[in-house]
Structure 1
């Protein structure tokens, strides 16, 4: 009688490659022969896994170049997290308190082991101090968060960061949001490897690389990054007129260019950008015809050139200006009501990111607090090649309802759009809670519910939450409170 192992090797590999990760892991436990086939690189590289993976944070990472052992470990971690996430009451694995005495205004994960925090000390007399700090997250060697490095920033500072090619360093851009006239942005280099390995504070892991002088006088909106590309939104009011521009900077070559945003686009609170290595996407909401429009514009040859330019304090007259021009691709979401909130992941995009995920909360008609809110997650399959006509998106990948008398407050969505979290407030009892959502996998039901069991005693009150940050591949949530306390929750 023939057995599975009697089949030719190429047939066995084809069978394995068509299975799900769960089935392969089960087969590996049956006998040594099947275990050996389940360890072949080819098998794991052929798997279609629609889950965020905690792979090394390397922007140009090719999954086909990752060893099977590393890929298998990451997929197993993703399956465990997904299983926990899909429970009616997920288990809370760990919770750490960040020993910080300042109010937290911004935070972002760097890979799976580091966290960058921007905090402000408002208790000092006649001076508000802002600090950017790098924290190493708990490991097997050190069970508590450790602050590795700290720098002082201008009051009102914000930051944006992106991991660079090779994954050894990250660029951190520090800028003064809302400043009417700014001298420039600080560009810092974060040595990821040294910060992850440090057992003691090491200020040298975060070094000033350059002060990039600004050629534009105006009000800074937000800074976006993708690799070594930086986009700064600026509002200008020359001679009583209104003008919106984007300052694009290639930090490798020091090349700068100014993009004029067309006047028909709306103001900053109704417009967001998403920067990619070779293109920029502008996401707008049109209140005259409710819906979401996404326009993708390719970079010019100048900003993509590898020619090095000297770092100099050039005036705006010396910087080339470019019209917005014709979009290479456009996307339209037309099925939205007239009242909604939109959330996009703040994580920087890489070449592997070919989808733009949005989490939207909406209700209709506008106003009445008794009208329940609906939520939805949309995924736009972006194309960076010229399209002949706009692509219409009419349905979300997942849609869910919130209970009556509740409202979403602080919202976070993961980079891939697979998971999202938010704080939910009940108007009838003034109670708060942390909620979660996950899009459905093939053959699975979508998940919407509490982030963890309500029986858990938390070391803080939920109504004191000021902001949230979320890393969907590891299930870690950063919770910053109005009191200045900060916690990391791991599911």
Structure 2
């Protein structure tokens, strides 16, 4: 060529092809060279492509298509995720901040904690608490932005089972569903938790909410006598409530699991057809509603299987087609994925399944043996049909070894495969907090060399000891970890 080729004179489609081979930091460096490349490096289309090919969890807005997000919104989200990833890969991640919740527990600890995906809202559960001579439970919803404060309280009369929360990005409230038992009846109370500033509360005390609706579970159509069933899982998505019920007597035939679906708006409900649960192994099946899909995840023989169905837009529409049927048939599965379990193990325990994200869902499994062989842990990730923004992560399974004298407690795993748990050493009688990273092939060897390593150093200058941890909540997107102690204190730790 008679004249030298200058990068800025290349067509934009060639520049986009070149940036596909660059890291995010290389793209940022490219933006600093001249005005033309700064303008190109700040285009919305380029950063949408970066988001689609990056393979780490991103804190993207809910219910917002990627095509509507601009570069000035996407770039800080990507950079924050990269900083967390770099810190997570270190041998010992740096703890950026640690905060104590201003919680007057009167010495009673939180039995369970849940973080809404995104890590900005926390649910704490105390059970049981005696109120007026009757058993009950106390729940609080917390805002963790800036200075943490409780935005609402819920008191449940009866034995608490489980709970779930749903946050819609465009709304100004959280939908909270709480399952409980009272007077031999299993029920679910649904609450609307409004977002309110702390200054709006009288004496800065969070209001106690009353349920907007209460759903009592009817008998299963196949049960001919009194059943000892109990609710063991809830899932909530876009007003569709999925209730997993365990029947210890196994009166439904081949499975101990029953699934009840409710449309909260119309109050129409129906039991799921048992035939759609037959391939799975009893109560280890995890059931979710998410983004218009119905998900079944659980073991089947020597595999762990994810089956995806289309959720009816409204249950009443599905019921109108066959009102005489006692069961709801979701029809054929849209897709099914399978990942192996350890074939030589004698027992597999699914100790944690993540809430689904827009693109993936993961499970943490511990495989045990009858002899003194080390246990084998595995994190299995499944892809989901693309229904929202974010990287499209492939399915994968990663294994790690565990000594036979330790156990994983309070485990939490994220949709892309990051996990945190408390390891109990039964010989030394001590605990430490560990983390798992879904390591990729081809890492450059710097940073953590194993998939499992300590989250906190053993001699960290912390205001608590790992032995005092009683409950745990984890959000993989923000790297936020909440620890509840036996003395009632709750600490919020951030790693980015």
Asked whether the two chains share a fold, i.e. TM above 0.5, the reply is yes
Residue equivalent to 1:254: 267
Partner Cα separation in structure 1 for residue 337 and residue 83 of structure 2: 35
Partner Cα separation in structure 1 for residue 12 and residue 252 of structure 2: 71
Q: Secondary structure at the match of 1:208?
A: coil
Q: Secondary structure at the match of 2:58?
A: coil
Q: Secondary structure at the match of 1:480?
A: strand
How has the CA–CA distance of structure 1 residues 95 and 450 changed in structure 2, closer, same or farther, with 3 Å as cutoff?
same
State the TM-score, normalizing by the size of structure 2. Answer: 0.80
- Contact kept, 8 Å, 1:179 with 1:219, in 2: the verdict is no
Residues 1:290 and 2:290 aligned together = no
Partner Cα separation in structure 2 for residue 17 and residue 489 of structure 1: 35
Residue equivalent to 1:279: 293
After the TM superposition, which of the residue ranges 146-155 and 376-385 deviates more from structure 2? 376-385
Residue equivalent to 2:245: 234
Residue equivalent to 2:347: 339
Q: Which of the pair has the greater relative contact order for Cα pairs under 8 Å at 6+ separation?
A: 2
How has the CA–CA distance of structure 1 residues 19 and 235 changed in structure 2, closer, same or farther, with 3 Å as cutoff?
same
Alignment of 1:134-145 (within 5 A): 134-139=141-146, 142=147, 145=148
How has the CA–CA distance of structure 1 residues 107 and 252 changed in structure 2, closer, same or farther, with 3 Å as cutoff?
same
Partner Cα separation in structure 2 for residue 410 and residue 24 of structure 1: 40
How has the CA–CA distance of structure 1 residues 241 and 215 changed in structure 2, closer, same or farther, with 3 Å as cutoff?
closer
Residue equivalent to 2:479: 475
Partner Cα separation in structure 1 for residue 336 and residue 317 of structure 2: 25
Residue equivalent to 1:391: none
- Contact kept, 8 Å, 1:253 with 1:307, in 2: the verdict is no
Partner Cα separation in structure 2 for residue 274 and residue 226 of structure 1: 8
Alignment of 1:157-172 (within 5 A): 157=160, 158-164=162-168, 166-172=170-176
Alignment of 1:313-392 (within 5 A): 320-322=326-328, 327-336=333-342, 337-347=345-355, 349=356, 352-353=358-359, 355-363=360-368, 365-366=369-370, 368=371, 370-382=372-384
Partner Cα separation in structure 2 for residue 29 and residue 250 of structure 1: 52
How has the CA–CA distance of structure 1 residues 450 and 134 changed in structure 2, closer, same or farther, with 3 Å as cutoff?
same
How far residue 306 of structure 1 moved from its aligned partner, in angstroms, is: 10
How far residue 423 of structure 1 moved from its aligned partner, in angstroms, is: 1.3
Partner Cα separation in structure 2 for residue 303 and residue 335 of structure 1: 35
How far residue 490 of structure 1 moved from its aligned partner, in angstroms, is: 1.4
How has the CA–CA distance of structure 1 residues 303 and 8 changed in structure 2, closer, same or farther, with 3 Å as cutoff?
same
- Contact kept, 8 Å, 2:122 with 2:141, in 1: the verdict is yes
Alignment of 1:20-419 (within 5 A): 20-47=23-50, 48-56=53-61, 58=62, 60-100=63-103, 101=105, 102-110=108-116, 111-120=118-127, 122=129, 126-139=133-146, 142=147, 145-157=148-160, 158-164=162-168, 166-176=170-180, 180-182=184-186, 184-192=187-195, 194=196, 201=204, 203=206, 208-216=211-219, 218-235=229-246, 244-262=257-275, 264=278, 269-286=283-300, 289-300=301-312, 303=315, 305=317, 320-322=326-328, 327-336=333-342, 337-347=345-355, 349=356, 352-353=358-359, 355-363=360-368, 365-366=369-370, 368=371, 370-382=372-384, 396-403=396-403, 405-417=405-417, 419=418
- Contact kept, 8 Å, 2:379 with 2:399, in 1: the verdict is yes
How far residue 248 of structure 1 moved from its aligned partner, in angstroms, is: 0.4
How far residue 239 of structure 1 moved from its aligned partner, in angstroms, is: 12
State the TM-score, normalizing by the size of structure 1. Answer: 0.81
Q: Secondary structure at the match of 1:25?
A: helix
Structure 2: stretches of 5+ with no match in the other structure: 221-228, 388-394
How far residue 189 of structure 1 moved from its aligned partner, in angstroms, is: 1.5
Q: Secondary structure at the match of 1:99?
A: coil
- Contact kept, 8 Å, 1:423 with 1:435, in 2: the verdict is yes
- Contact kept, 8 Å, 1:372 with 1:406, in 2: the verdict is no
How far residue 224 of structure 1 moved from its aligned partner, in angstroms, is: 1.6
How far residue 177 of structure 1 moved from its aligned partner, in angstroms, is: 5.6
- Contact kept, 8 Å, 1:191 with 1:206, in 2: the verdict is no
Q: Secondary structure at the match of 2:142?
A: strand
RMSD, aligned α-carbons = 3.5
How has the CA–CA distance of structure 1 residues 4 and 340 changed in structure 2, closer, same or farther, with 3 Å as cutoff?
same
How far residue 161 of structure 1 moved from its aligned partner, in angstroms, is: 1.2
- Contact kept, 8 Å, 1:115 with 1:135, in 2: the verdict is yes
Q: Secondary structure at the match of 2:269?
A: strand
Residue equivalent to 1:490: 494
How far residue 205 of structure 1 moved from its aligned partner, in angstroms, is: 10
How far residue 372 of structure 1 moved from its aligned partner, in angstroms, is: 1.6
Residue among 464, 474, 479 paired with 1:460:
464
Structure 1: stretches of 5+ with no match in the other structure: 309-316, 386-394
Partner Cα separation in structure 2 for residue 472 and residue 197 of structure 1: 31
Partner Cα separation in structure 1 for residue 354 and residue 207 of structure 2: 26
